[in-house]
Amino acid sequence: MRRFVTTGRLTIIDHKGARHDYGPGGEPSATVRLTDPKLYRRLFLNPELYAGEAYMDGTLIVEDGGIRGFLEVFAHNRDGLRKGPVRQRIKRVQKTFRRTMQRNKREASSKNVEAHYDLSNDLYRLFLDEDMQYSCAYWPEYGMTLEQAQLAKKRHIAAKLRLEHGHRVLDIGCGWGGMAMHLAKEHDVQVVGVTLSNDQYALARERVEAAGLQDRVEIRLQDYRDCKGPYDRVVSVGMFEHVGVGHYAEFFGQIRDVLTDDGCALVHSIGRKGGPGTTGKWIRKYIFPGGYSPALSETYAEIEKAGLWVTDMEILRLHYAWTLAEWEKRFQANRDAVVAMKDERFARMWEFYLVISEFSFLYGKHMNFQIQLTKDVHALPPTRNYMMDGPGLLS
């Protein structure tokens, strides 16, 4: 612990009541109480997994600084912890088996989606924006509301798609239908949205009908691998993280196959700075089974194999940190409703998830990328000016 905490302060009260102070002092700081002596060995072997589980179970109690303070101490000192010899050996073993962890064949994909996205539509309503956008928002101006930033995200992506009247659009991983409805309403295009979530499918169809967009938007409960073209445009927001490394060739090959020769696609995904890695065991076990944030190197390699052009690339570095901070604020404001809907353990699990995710973008190596793809080098104008010609982001 003395080698680990080199920034801020962490006070640990052991199961016998003795206090142990680590770090030079200052911020960030937190005090935690460990009530189970079995945690000592577990936290040494895999702090990310067992700290999360102990917080959920109540055997790690944050007495000062709150869960944000505790996780901020970890975020500022995580590199030193991960460079330890034991953690390095564990990481090497995990990388060896990462394709097995992300083996998202059809049946596995459906189960993984169900585990996260079919928890309850009412749960997601408690912390998302009004349009239920469950992906990174876009913040072109400081001080925007979450609703404004999510609308800006939809407009930003629409501008990159260069939509024209009558285009057929495929939305892979359409969520609750917000993007599909926006594109159809604002750009007069025909959209097919596909999802594997039963809850999302049912609510998206209700929303489409309520908006009177049945003639322009079709929501399907369908695996992206079963989609048939041709489509003039393909958009995928926040779904590529669920594809799995072993299925990247399948994913980009499918985009190529359904696109018209002069079509384009826009893939918006969480990514990681640096080379290929693995998903933390706690996140993989409790939040996103089969999920993984890809490195650009492994993403580009499969795009090249698919024979697609990368016609534009943008990195959104801090936008998801700001999005997650808004989600966590709204989650905390509705925490009692979450406990009533689920239970206390679930509420702790989700606040842990939201905060560590925010810090992975604020202090760690995570970011978002938007990759624009075409089959034909002439499919889009040679400069980015056309992306600026549409309606203003806040108009």
User: Does residue 295 surpass a pLDDT of 80?
Assistant: yes
Place of tokens 């992975």: 360
Enumerate the H helices of the chain as residue ranges.
39-45, 47-57, 66-82, 85-96, 98-101, 106-117, 121-125, 146-161, 178-187, 198-210, 248-258, 281-286, 296-306, 319-333, 335-341, 344-362
For residue range 346-384, list pLDDT tens digits in order: 999 999 999 999 999 999 999 999 999 999 999 999 999
pLDDT digits (tens, 9 = 90+) for 23-61: 999 999 999 999 999 999 998 888 889 999 999 999 999
Residue numbers of the domain that contains 299: 105-388
Least confident range of 137-146, 330-339, 385-394 = 385-394
CA 78 vs. chain centroid, Å, equals 21
83 and 109, same structural domain? no
Q: Do 342 and 286 touch, CB atoms closer than 8 A?
A: no
pLDDT (average), residues 112-120: 93
Using the predicted structure, report yes or no on whether residue 184 has a pLDDT greater than 90.
yes
Q: Is residue 1 assigned to a domain? A: no
pLDDT of residue 109: 82
Q: Please compute the mean of the pLDDT values over residues 132-136 and round it to a whole number.
A: 98
Which residue is listed with tokens 């589980």? Answer: 53
Query: For residues 60 and 34, what is the distance between their CA atoms, to the nearest angstrom?
Result: 5
The enclosing domain of 273 has a CATH number of 3.40.50.150
Q: Is residue 290's pLDDT more than 60?
A: yes
Q: Which of 49, 75, 96 is the last residue of a domain?
A: 96
Number of folded domains that form the chain: 2
Q: How far apart are CA 138 and CA 382, in angstroms?
A: 24
Residue 136 lies inside a defined structural domain of this protein: yes
Same domain, 92 and 190: no
Beta bridge partners of 172: 194, 236
Q: What pTM did the predictor assign? A: 0.92
Q: Do 147 and 228 have their domain in common?
A: yes
Shared-domain flag, residues 214 and 353: yes
54, 71, 96: which is the final residue of a domain?
96
Domain co-membership, 250 together with 290: yes
- 56/129 same-domain check: no
Query: What type of residue is 206?
Result: E
Residue 344 lies inside a defined structural domain of this protein: yes
Are residues 328 and 349 both part of a single domain? yes
Q: Among residues 96, 119, 144, which one ends one of the domains?
A: 96
Which tokens in the block code for residue 32? 């935690």
138 closest CA partner among 148, 122, 127, 149 = 149
Instruction: Answer whether residue 3 is part of any domain.
Output: no
186-204 pLDDT per residue, tens: 999 999 999 999 999 999 9
pLDDT at 120 over 90: yes
Residues 239 and 132 in one domain: yes
Residue 4 pLDDT class (50, 70, 90 cuts): confident
DSSP state of 316: E
